[in-house]
Structure 1
Amino acid sequence: MKWTMKKEIIIIAGPTAVGKTKYAIEAAKALDGEVVSSDSMQLYQFMDIGSAKPTKEERAQIRHYLVDEVDPREAFSVAEYQRRAKAAIQDIFSRGKTPVVSGGTGLYVNSLIYDMDFSAPPASQEYRHQLEQLASSQGKEYLHRLLEEKDPQGAERIHPNNVKKVIRALEVAEHAGTGIKSFEQSFVPTKDYTCCLLGLCRQREELYGRIDQRVDLLLDMGLVEEVRGLLSMGLTPENISMKGIGYKEIMGYLQGEYDLEQAVYLVKRNTRHYAKRQMTWFKRYEDMTWFDLSSYADDELAIKEMIIWLSKNR
């Protein structure tokens, strides 16, 4: 999709629990904008607590897109996210407003910055079944060694434990004769608009403390009951939506795999690990301007400086 005038979107990215929702709302207020979420969990209906979805009060302040839109029993892809998000961005532009993208799902952010190619060859059910049988009979390490032979670079980027991605990479290598493209090779900057990239970060100990506090708060808000309700709707560990951090660990507790104390420990640990991976991802964007929120006395001062920066640099 093209626009006749030069358009710019603001992207506010960063790790979980850093405070993106608050900053995106304030940026949207200052810029006469609306928020487009790039969070892979907040888009699901019925998953309000574990996803730390913007509250009804926050959404009443500024219109949000890609929040609370998809049934968690449905499959959802990056390609579908890109389609919906770009349609939202076009709608926001059409009304003379500024799109403010907020979230921490790196691949979703990528799909808006770059013209990602989703045209991988269709999967062969027979070949996939053969690979799944090999993984079951010979082990995931054996499957990963096959990938090393067919696509050494892809094997370097995909962990042996991620059997689903290993199988997909093998399918691409087998049927297209090419490997999975690298981060640098896969994307060409979009011509639909320009992007102003802002990254939010905090000192590690502060961020980890915020993560622990948020997990405790989500439990107080009823996370266990929310997951119990999702299970009663027929959702299982096989649903993509239930693989999200917070949901999969509490589901394990409810299914008797471990006690609640262990589940809480796992949620906090896995969230910290995820935050680290998010920072690694976003630091690859060379043109991202970072705001270390730990260096400010409070959020209000940081928000004020961010808005001043935006007014000078847009």
Structure 2
Amino acid sequence: MPSLMRRCSRWWTDSLPHNIPTTALTEDPSWSTFPLMNSTGALSAPEPSNNRVLTLVGPTAVGKTAVAVELARRLDGEIIGLDSRQIYKYMAVGTVQPTDEEKVHVRHHLIGDRDPSEQISAGEYVGLVEVAIDDVKSRSKVPIVCGGSGLYFRAVTRGLFDESTSDPKVRAALKERLENEGSDTMLAELKVLDQEYGEIVHPNNHKRLIRALEIIQITGKPPTEHFRHQAESDSHDRFFTVFLRMDIEELTPRIERRTKMTFENGWIDEVKKLLDLGFDRSSHPMDSLGYRDILKYLDGEMDFEEMVERIKIDTRQYARKQLKWFDKERIDCVLEVAGMSEMGVAEKVINQF
């Protein structure tokens, strides 16, 4: 799958083909036209010159939320979540949802407003995002779609492939196999049939694992092949997508700090509350990154230090998969953001948008 993206900084342009226009960005802050001051002396940004939807994607812990909040403040925008887990209530800590302070200053959509018992498909999520975009635009605000779910990003910006049919009998048989054989065995099978897609599916994501094998059985083709031949929807040009990129070596200390923060903020108590609300250990929310490990800790299957280390490892693996996914997506602008503040990143995004 070819990568279609444009680096958004001058130091990358030397390696690009000559027929790709360079950008006017530089690491020299004195060159930039920002920050601008309005009549009150406050920081401001020019009005966007287009009607496109700004989309921020990137790996976990790269700082998407902070950048999105800064962009919304400067552009008079509102944030629309693009995350398969942040959409749920009662999971604010473990999924690192925007803070109450961030939500007070900037309106958020599709963040913490659905019950975890509702399993939302990619197709359903597309509809929710479209409704939110229309709502934001109806109030003359700038929609800023922000998240790290690669499949949902593709569904929103390119649509879903036509052959994504479902067969209840096939799915039931796969679920039975999962119970009997375990996710590791079935993931190994998926990697044989579709190595590229298998590399980005987490063994705990049973729904996506079963769905991939279901598609293969029904259509005779792996998901990656469907994506390759997927026709781009007319809506793609509505979106201006910025990929906030950071190498895994630079992400690792951020992941470790964030993991520590989630436990300090009460992640274990959050899992206990989910159990009290009636979500058992095999339920949808407990498949989320880290939650299953906390359950094992609560059941005495691992000690605290082992649990924390397991979550850090799984989060790094997830970040690698996100990087692989977005490296292959059609992206308008890639920003290497290591060492930059959210204000600095927002400034560069605005210059491109």
TM range, smaller chain: 0.7 to 0.9
* Number of residue-to-residue matches in the alignment: 300
Aligned to 1:299: 342
- 2:289 is aligned, of 225, 239, 245, to 245
SS in 2 for 1:294: coil
With the length of structure 1 as denominator, give the TM-score of the two structures.
Answer: 0.83
- 1:40 is aligned, of 66, 74, 84, to 84
Taking only aligned residues, the RMSD between alpha carbons, in angstroms, comes to 3.0
Any idea what the Cα deviations from partners look like across 1:185-212, whole Å, max 9, x if unmatched?
2352343752111111234333110110
Residues 266 and 118 of structure 1, relative CA distance in 2, 3 Å threshold? farther
Any idea what the Cα deviations from partners look like across 1:42-68, whole Å, max 9, x if unmatched?
111011111111011101111111001
SS in 2 for 1:264: helix
Map 1:13-92 → 2, pairs under 5 A: 13-92=57-136
Q: Is 1:7–1:193's contact at 8 Å kept on the other side of the alignment?
A: no
Residues 147 and 67 of structure 1, relative CA distance in 2, 3 Å threshold? closer
Letter in 2 for 1:121: T
Q: Distance in 2 between matches of 1:155 and 1:278?
A: 15
Aligned to 1:102: 146
Is 1:158 aligned to residue 198 of structure 2? yes
Q: Which moved more, 1:79-88 or 1:139-148?
A: 139-148
Q: Distance in 1 between matches of 2:76 and 2:343?
A: 19
Letter in 2 for 1:223: W
Residues 260 and 34 of structure 1, relative CA distance in 2, 3 Å threshold? same
Q: Which moved more, 1:6-15 or 1:180-189?
A: 180-189
- Stretches of structure 1 that go unaligned for 5 or more consecutive residues are 1-5
Letter in 2 for 1:106: G
Compute the displacement of 1:246 (Å).
Answer: 2.2
- Stretches of structure 2 that go unaligned for 5 or more consecutive residues are 1-49
Identity over aligned pairs, percent: 31
Q: Is 1:79–1:118's contact at 8 Å kept on the other side of the alignment?
A: no
SS in 2 for 1:116: coil
Q: Which moved more, 1:21-30 or 1:193-202?
A: 193-202
Q: Is 1:131–1:143's contact at 8 Å kept on the other side of the alignment?
A: no
Q: Distance in 2 between matches of 1:281 and 1:157?
A: 9
Q: Distance in 2 between matches of 1:138 and 1:224?
A: 29
Aligned to 1:216: 260
SS in 2 for 1:291: strand
Map 1:189-208 → 2, pairs under 5 A: 189-191=233-235, 194-208=238-252
With the length of structure 2 as denominator, give the TM-score of the two structures.
Answer: 0.75
Q: Which moved more, 1:230-239 or 1:270-279?
A: 230-239
Is 1:114 aligned to residue 158 of structure 2? yes
Q: Distance in 2 between matches of 1:291 and 1:203?
A: 12
Is 1:236 aligned to residue 276 of structure 2? no
